[in-house]
Amino acid sequence: MKLYTYDRAPNPRRLAMFMKYKGIELDSQQVDLMKGEQLGEQYRAINPHQTVPALKLDDGSVLSEVIGICTYLEALYPDRPLLGTSAIEKARVISWDHRLFAALVVPIADMLRNSAEAFRNRALPGPYNVPQLPEMVERGRLQVHCILPDLDAHLAGSAWLAGENFTFADIDLVAAVDFMAWVKESVPAECGNLKAWYERAQAELA
């Protein structure tokens, strides 16, 4: 297997934290997004979606979504499970992963891609030339500040997002909270449960 990634980017960070927690080491190659290497023909031949991370398997097939890569690696490396052990915990982890991606990660990405000069005419990831829409910045900000109080309320009665155990849902939330800094946003002071959870999660990942 070979992993194509870019350590600084949010999606690769999700996978990197997953792998570190489980002690997984893979042959890897950096694809420099700042230099546009993901858009070159060499990488396009590996991953036509032109996104990172991408995991090329021994049979030549490629997994290009973080949740798919993590599901595959969890099956190969079951120790220190992060995707749940019981049926209900697995369902909760996947549910939280989906909600966090849709309601937090995508809005942050919309804010960044529709405002930063580096993403002019690149408002969507991959091989698409899409103009920036300034309205997406404010909508993204509104979405972010809608979900944060909900997360805070949930964490008032739960140590971890999906229940009693630290899971990939918590890793995804760590990555999302850190990603907020890219658009000059942060967890509000009144979200004390979320702030306390973040400290616990950081200690768990240390």
Domains of the chain plus CATH, in order, are 2-76 (3.40.30.10), 87-205 (1.20.1050.10)
More confident call, 66 vs 124: 66
Q: Is residue 180 left, alpha or beta, with left meaning phi > 0 and alpha meaning psi from -120 to 50?
A: alpha
**For residue 152, which phi and psi values (nearest 5 degrees)?**
-60, -45
Question: What is the share, in percent, of the chain residues with pLDDT greater than 70?
Answer: 100
Q: How far apart are CA 111 and CA 188, in angstroms?
A: 18
Q: Which of 98, 102, 79 is nearest to 23 (CA)?
A: 79
What average pLDDT does the segment 94-112 reach? 97
Task: Give pLDDT, residue 127.
Answer: 83
Instruction: pLDDT band for 85, please (50, 70, 90 cuts).
Output: very high
Contacts of 170 (CB under 8 A, 6+ apart): 160, 161, 162, 197, 201, 204
Q: Is residue 188 left, alpha or beta, with left meaning phi > 0 and alpha meaning psi from -120 to 50?
A: beta
Q: How far apart are CA 154 and CA 152, in angstroms?
A: 5
What average pLDDT does the segment 118-144 reach? 91
Bridge partners (DSSP) of residue 63 are 55
**Cα dist from 81 to 35, 58, 73, 74, 162, whole Å:** 35, 23, 10, 7, 13
Q: Which string of DSSP letters, residue by residue, matches 50-86?
A: --S-EEE-TTS-EE-SHHHHHHHHHHH--SS-SS-SS
Instruction: pLDDT band for 129, please (50, 70, 90 cuts).
Output: confident
Helix (H) or strand (E) holding 22: helix 10-22
Does the pLDDT of residue 126 top 90, yes or no? no
